[in-house]
Chain A
Amino acid sequence: MSELLLAPKRMIELEIDGQSVRVFEGETILGACRRLGIDTPTLCYGDTLEPANACRVCVVEVEGARVLAPACSRKAEAGMKVQTDSERVRHSRKMVLELLASSVDLSTTDEIPGYLERYDAQPERFGPPAPPDPDRDRKRTGHHVEPDGQTAATVYAPVKIDNELYVRDYSKCILCYKCVDACGEQFQNTFAIHVAGRGFDARISTEYVAELPDSACVYCGNCIAVCPTGALMFVSEHALRAEGDWREDDQTVTTTVCPYCGVGCNLELHVQDNTIVKVTSPDDHDITRGNLCIKGRFGFQHVQARDAP
């Protein structure tokens, strides 16, 4: 349907790693790389939000530019010459990965082991993790303590389980702000969360660090859908992982239509052992663009809560 409503687009030509490529005007360098089959690492990119442009593992070198450019958001231009695997690019990606991996728990970010190996990143070189900061959630701007240089500061925070539907584990947060964008004006327009604090103390928070049931949250779970590191997770997934029983390889994903109102949102049901363990919506479907409401995201439980007749 949607292609009927789209205007025609102009093609432009650029060069990446010495290869010529033609892309639609408005496409990003990342899009052009993918057309050439150049595997570009990304963490915060990958759904229907505007590129968050935050993690910097996708940086590339653009000839004539002073600084490296994030491939995920920089638009391709006619005649552009791009290097994706130069010494400068490799060095920068390695450093970004080391800083992230030394300070954040990336154990549920599937791409990370491959990226660390590919760039020979050694996050452990900053020393063992520093003791957790118990006041991290309430740190105020301008109160940063100098690190001792012997240990790696982390963003550790206790797991927040304050409702029946989803878990927030900000030890895993790379501060890509995508949850903030999804909750805010890009999709949900609820504005329940935002970034609090500055510098290394920055973290995602509700107003006055309120627990979710006391916040503006409406439990659409659109933040979970865009979280790249598993910091935000269904309670069902969190529990299965804690029991060591989260088996993604054994799961089926079936696309169907939500049973509630008449909008017709597509649901992807992630099923393990004949039980729905997670619900997502396809990013490439123009009804939802990956978004759902509380009923679509969490209202599936009736099919497994009923008694077997």
Chain B
Amino acid sequence: MFGAGGGTSSYREMEETDVVLLWGSNARETHPIFFHHLLRGIHNGARLFVIDPRRTTSAQWADRWLGLEVGSDIALSNTVAREIIHAGLANRAFIDNATEGFDAYAASVEPFTLAEGERLTGVPAEAIREMAHAFARADRAMICWTLGITEHHTAVDNVLSLINLALLCGHVGRFGSGLNPLRGQNNVQGGGDMGAIPNKLAGFQDIEQDHEARARFEQAWGVTIRPTYGWHLTQMFDGMEHGELRTLYVIGENPAQSEADINRTRKLLSELDFLVVQDIVLTKTAEMADVVFPSAASWCETDGTVTNSERRVQRVRKALDPPGEARDDMWIITEIARRLGQDWPDPVAEDVWDELRSLSPMHSGKSYARLEELGGIQWPCPDETHPGSPMLHERLWAEPRIGPAAPFTVVEARGPFEELDADYPIRLTTGRRLESYNTGTQTNLYSSPLHRGESLDLSPEDAERLELADGEVARVSSRRGSVEAPVRIDPALRPGLAFMTFHFPDQVDTNQLTIDATDPKSGTAEFKAAAIRVEKIERVEDEERAGVAEHATVGGQQ
């Protein structure tokens, strides 16, 4: 936020805050140990508001569940903002001292009366009002979110709308108040930290605009760095479509099953001139590759670091020898560099880290010895006497303010890219379950009583209307593809809303249904909002079906 991409607070603050807005997140299942800290806050008296189309297991802990229509997040936040402003609950002193752009923002939310908010979001006006007042009046308040905010074609605007709410009430930069994206993968934050994003060098130093930083990297590496942004994933697939990207080197990702509109993805991957995949298991993407590098598992077969959702860099350590010919990622990359004629030394994780520390000021103070001693260090940590930063943006509270003002951003409330219609009348949203993870390449290799395979979760009302019984296999279709999935009746869903995961793509290929409408700024696809049709499959007699089964399978693969 405000320059550096990371949450502003520490988990521990969740235990001593007063109000929590958990927005587009089922943290009880997707971030269970973060939720432990939140539960402790609840036991200490915090009020929890869960904003989610589904009445999730997280929502079961809430004082209020705001079951908004999928993709109406900005309409809801704008309504909350207008109510806060009109009730005289905005923090004028903070706004005047620390922010800019308030007047334009206030004008932009003016049309979002409570009644209009209810119409746009489906959330009762009274619940919106209650949340607005609770948030604004709290001494301390947190906003936490996950992919329910970011897997939309309005991802960046959704986040900005939440930042607006925090600025409006001064709920940032103080203990117990902050803005916290919960990262979905163990090193998503670290990927950003390390510059594995198209527009930044390590330490969030802009590749186009920060000439001084770029010069430092050029000098250290003895190369010239082009001062232009690269492509994010979505732009890469567009590049493949236009023939501009012909070779792909995929490390630790399974796009052949994880991308939205998967049929298009597979077609583009299959048309590449050359595909290299480096992974710990032979994924579906690896099966398509020209070359596969089996790699060691980075969390237990190699040394290194990862960064978590509270910006804490922590050590990962080698506990096991990797199987067979699998090699450390660092070793593979170094060997490739050597075959390309570079004289790289044998890689040592701590040496690589020390080079990073010499180039990224926010990490400079984090030696391996200190990471060990302190159990990880939260950035920024500019030198070896610095204890790390449990909180960000305290400067906004200095009077006079230190540094640039935090800007309000006017955001437009736009619904999901794909609207519902008579042909595709049901909203499909996707997500995760407690015991599983992403495309299941890891979690489908252990079994537990919680593993129950893919299902199409439907509201009891929709199931009854479609004459579908629990467990019955139904046909699910979107404009992009069609799959069969067993129905699971879930009272947490409202009529018109369906839910699926993408954990079992070999069983049900959910991403044939999802849409790759993407946010132009973040490149994130709208996994959370597709339009689908659900149909009962008219079963033929068993004998007949046995006779045509072979036929059907062949047909399905064409």
Question: Is B34 located at the chain interface by the 8 A CB criterion?
Answer: yes
| Extra inter-chain contacts (20) besides given A165-B449, A289-B36, CB under 8 Å | A164-B449, A220-B32, A256-B315, A256-B319, A257-B316, A259-B298, A259-B442, A262-B183, A262-B189, A263-B33, A263-B182, A271-B319, A287-B308, A293-B32, A295-B437, A299-B443, A299-B446, A300-B446, A301-B446, A309-B326
Question: In whole angstroms, how far apart are the Cα atoms of A258 and B270 in the complex?
Answer: 33
Among A4, A213, A262, A284, contact of B185 (Cβ-Cβ < 8 Å)? A262
Cα–Cα, bound, A303→B435 (Å): 17
Tell me the smallest distance from the CB of B365 to a CB of chain A, in Å: 13
Render B163-186 as a binary contact track against A, CB cut-off 8 A, 1 for contact.
000000000000100000011111
Q: List residues of B whose CB falls within 8 A of some A CB.
A: 10-12, 30-34, 36, 39, 43, 61, 175, 182-189, 280-282, 294, 297-301, 306-310, 312, 314-321, 323-326, 374-378, 387-388, 390, 434-435, 437, 441-443, 445-450
A2-B12, A301-B446 given as contacts; is B317 within 8 A of A255 (CB)? yes
Looking at A27-35, A114-122, A182-190, the stretch in contact with chain B turns out to be A182-190
Contacts A293-B32, A302-B281 hold; do A309 and B324 have CB atoms under 8 A apart? yes
Contacts of B448 in A (CB 8 A): 163-165, 219, 294, 298
Known interface pairs A257-B306, A264-B309, A287-B11; A271-B320 also in contact (CB < 8 Å) = yes
DSSP majority for the A interface?
Answer: loop
Give 24 pairs: A residue, B residue, CB < 8 Å, sorted on A: A1-B10, A4-B387, A5-B10, A5-B175, A213-B449, A255-B317, A257-B186, A257-B306, A259-B298, A261-B182, A261-B184, A261-B185, A263-B11, A266-B375, A274-B321, A287-B312, A288-B33, A291-B36, A293-B33, A298-B446, A299-B446, A302-B280, A302-B441, A308-B324
Q: Counting chain B CB atoms within 10 Å of each CB, which of A255, A275, A291 scores highest?
A: A255
Taking the nearest CB of chain B, how far is it from the CB of A306, in angstroms? 5
- Given A1-B387, A302-B443, does the pair A258, B434 have CB atoms closer than 8 Å? no
Q: How far is the CA of A92 from the CA of B434 in the complex (A)?
A: 46
In the assembled complex, which residues on chain A have CB atoms less than 8 Å from the CB atom of B280?
Answer: 302-303, 306
- Cα–Cα distance between A266 and B319 once the two chains are bound (Å): 13
Q: Is the CB of B309 within 8 A of A262?
A: yes
- Decide if A145 is an interface residue (CB 8 Å cutoff): no
Question: When A and B form their complex, which 8 residue pairs have the shortest distance between CB atoms, in order from nearest?
Answer: A262-B183, A264-B308, A308-B324, A309-B294, A254-B319, A293-B32, A213-B449, A302-B445
A4-B387, A254-B318, A262-B183 as given contacts; A219 in contact with B188, CB under 8 Å = no
Q: Which residue of A lies closest to B442 (CB)?
A: A302
Q: Which residues of A contact B301 (CB under 8 A)?
A: 303
Cβ contact within 8 Å between A309 and B300: no
A303 in complex: contacting residue of B186, B297, B434, CB < 8 Å: B297
Residue A245 interfacial (CB < 8 Å): no
A309 to B43, CA, bound (A): 49
A66 to B10, CA, bound (A): 45
We find that the number of chain A residues with CB closer than 8 angstroms to chain B is 61
Which chain A positions have C-beta within 8 A of B316? 256-257
Contacts A264-B312, A299-B446, A309-B325 hold; do A294 and B434 have CB atoms under 8 A apart? yes
B33/A265 in contact, CB under 8 A: yes
Chain A residues 245-280 with CB under 8 Å of chain B are 252, 254-266, 269, 271, 274-276
Q: Verify A301–B445 contact, CB threshold 8 A.
A: yes
**Residues of chain B lying within 8 A (CB to CB) of residue A276:** 300, 319-320
CB pair B12–A259 under 8 Å, yes or no, is no
Beyond A213-B449, A254-B317, whether A294 also contacts B390 by CB under 8 A is: no
B32 touches A1 (CB 8 A): no
Measured in the bound complex, the distance between the Cα atoms of B297 and A262 in whole Å is: 17
The residue in chain B whose Cβ has the minimal distance to the Cβ of A259 is B299
Contact of B323 among A189, A266, A286, A309 (CB under 8 A): A309
Residue with the greatest number of chain A CB neighbours at <10 A, chosen from B294, B323, B324: B323
Please determine whether A264 and B43 come into contact, CB atoms closer than 8 angstroms.
no
Q: Does A225 contact B (CB under 8 A)?
A: no
Known pairs A1-B10, A1-B312, A262-B184; A219 contacts B445 (CB<8 A): no
Interface residues of A in 181-213 (CB under 8 A from B): 185, 187-189, 212-213
Residues of A with C-beta under 8 A to B321? 274
Q: Which of B32, B301, B374: most chain A CB closer than 10 A? A: B32
Verify if A123 is at the interface (C-beta below 8 Å from B). Answer: no
Task: For A264, list chain B residues within 8 Å (CB).
Answer: 186, 306-310, 312, 314, 376
Do B320 and A286 have beta carbons less than 8 Å apart?
A: no
A227: chain B residues at CB < 8 Å are none
Give the residues in chain B near A260, CB-CB below 8 Å: 185-186, 437, 442
Residue of A163, A263, A274, A308 near B309 (CB, 8 A) is: A263
A217 to B33, CA, bound (A): 16
Task: Flag if B323 contacts A306 (CB, 8 Å).
Answer: yes
B308, A263: Cβ atoms closer than 8 Å: yes
What's the nearest-Cβ distance from chain B to residue A305, in Å?
Answer: 4
Complex Cα gap A5–B301 (Å): 34
Asked if A91 is at the interface of the complex by the 8 Å CB criterion, the answer is no
User: Does A241 reach chain B (CB closer than 8 Å)?
Assistant: no
Closest chain B residue to A308, Cβ basis:
B324
Q: A217 vs B298: C-alpha distance in the bound complex, in angstroms?
A: 30
Q: Are A266 and B314 in contact (CB under 8 A)?
A: yes
Q: How far is the CA of A309 from the CA of B448 in the complex (A)?
A: 26
Contact B445 A306 (CB under 8 A): yes
Contact partners of B184 in chain A: CB under 8 A: 261-262
Question: A residues within 8 A CB of B390?
Answer: 1, 4-5
Q: Are A218 and B450 in contact (CB under 8 A)?
A: yes
